Amino acid sequence: MSRHPANAWSACLLGLAAAASLVAGCAMRTPPSPQAFRQQSVGHLGLASPWRSGELPTEAVQDNWLSTFGDVQLDALVAEALAHNPDLRAAAARVDQAAGQLALARGAQRPSLSLLGTGGIKMSDMSSALSGLMALMSWELDLWGALRYGSAAASASLVAAQSELEFSRQSLAATTAKAWFTAAQTRLEAQTADRMVGVSEHLLRMVVTRRSVGIANDQEVAQASAGLSDQRDRLAQARLAHQSALRALETLLGRYPAAELTARTDLPPVPGPVPAGLPLQMLERRPDLIAAERRVAAAFNRVGQAKAAALPGIRLTANLGYLDSDVVALKKDFENPTGGAGAKLLMPIDINGTLAAQVAIVTAQQQEAVAQYVQMALRAVADVETALAAAQTLTEREGHLRELVAAQSTALRLAQAAYEVGKRDLRSVEQERLILYQAQVQLLRVRCDQLTQRVNLHLALGGSFERGAAVSH
């Protein structure tokens, strides 16, 4: 220990400053830029070309897609889901955890300071304790960048967690919108099913009346009764489907799933064409792909950290304190305050292969992260192409079903006219009405599927339901 603590303390500070200069001069490898990484990993897919399914405007993808449906109640439901959904709160907690890990990684790059105090109460002449206060400082020099690699990895992981939170928000908004449309569709379907039950009951009464006058037989009555039972079963299924849709939506909102929410009484029209941009632009803006790319960057830095951990390390230490005692006589040349400084050299020797194994593990993890990114990119491209192809098919089906509904409406009108002049009986009119209702249900389902696919397309393209919510990295 130094006899001149003030000089020792000054020398220690000068040594720390010199070490800081040394550390600043040590360069570390940086991962490829996001643009370079995308080119290396998925450049062979030709993502700079337009989408293959359908001809859509190639202008940049627009945010704020939720407003295109013009549904104020849907806007309020999405806001409620964002405020109360437990899955979203879990994702936000993961962001806080990642931020804490980054703070720890950055803190490890700085000197640490501890205070040690000791003292006691004198109970007798023979009981006395040494008292005093001591400051202890320690600093691990980041000679090879191990700490900086760790900090860079934690920073990339934080961006990944933030991006995952944003994608969770977008997914929650999309799921809420689809659940809201499904609730409306099942409500309308249940109403149609109820009307079909009414028609079947009327048919059964007519057949029973016809049998009573000798026009119909027991077989026709049995057939009408079976038809009524079938329609009542369909109604029960439709009501259960509507209740299930409401409970699913209430669960998303964080409410008790009591199926008490009132769905809208119609389906909104499908908004106009969506600017789809290019596949490469989709990779640049989708938060889940940004998160996957940042996980690759974090894995890259962890490889550098593992390699640097196998190299020699230096830890600087310093202390400054004041000691006193009522009984114990300190040395004559002891001076207060007292202090000192030193350094420790750590030379890892990998005789058991653990350091090499750690490098191999994180290298494999980096390769896994790259493979997962490529897989996610392919799946994201498929999501868009599938949504575009489905939208085309549903548009065609909607046209055919509208023609079917129109034709069946004409058939029902003609059947009613024939009944009024005595050319057809009422039973055939009611049967035509049932066929019309069935066609209307098919059209209703296709219209709901169109809205669902539109939401899927927005989510797949990376468009946010809000304005300007894209995550930068």
Residue 472 predicted with pLDDT over 60: no
CA angle 274, 79, 295 (to 5 degrees): 70
Q: Where are the domains of the chain?
A: 5-121+128-461
Mean pLDDT, residues 298-310 = 94
How many CA atoms does the CB half-sphere of 336 hold within 13 Å? Answer: 11
The structure tokens listed for 62 are 């627009």
Please state at what angle helix 354-420 crosses helix 426-461, rounded to 10 degrees: 150
Compute the distance between CA of residue 66 and CA of residue 278 in angstroms, rounded to an integer: 21
DSSP state of 32: P
In angstroms, the CA 263 to CA 183 distance is 6
pLDDT reading at 1 higher than 90: no
Mean pLDDT of 304-316: 91
Cα–Cα distance for residue pair 351/220, rounded to 1 Å:
91
Reported as a single tens digit per residue, the pLDDT across 168-180 is: 999 999 999 999 9
Q: Read out DSSP for 225-285?
A: HHHHHHHHHHHHHHHHHHHHHHHHHHHHTTS---S-PPPPSS-PPPPS------HHHHHHH
| 319 strand-pairing partners | 136, 340
Give the three-state DSSP class for 111: coil
Residue 446 has pLDDT above 80, yes or no: yes
pTM to 2 decimals?
0.85
Residue 21 pLDDT greater than 50, yes or no: no
**pLDDT at 246 exceeding the cut of 50:** yes
Q: Does 417 score more than 80 pLDDT?
A: yes
* CATH 1.20.1600.10 given to domain 5-121+128-461: yes
- List, in sequence order, every beta strand (DSSP E) within 128-193: 131-141
CA-closest candidate to residue 190, choices 138, 242, 139: 242
3-state helix, strand, coil in the chain (%, to 5): 65, 10, 25
**Taking Cα atoms as reference points, which of 380, 381, 281, 377 lies closest to residue 53?**
381
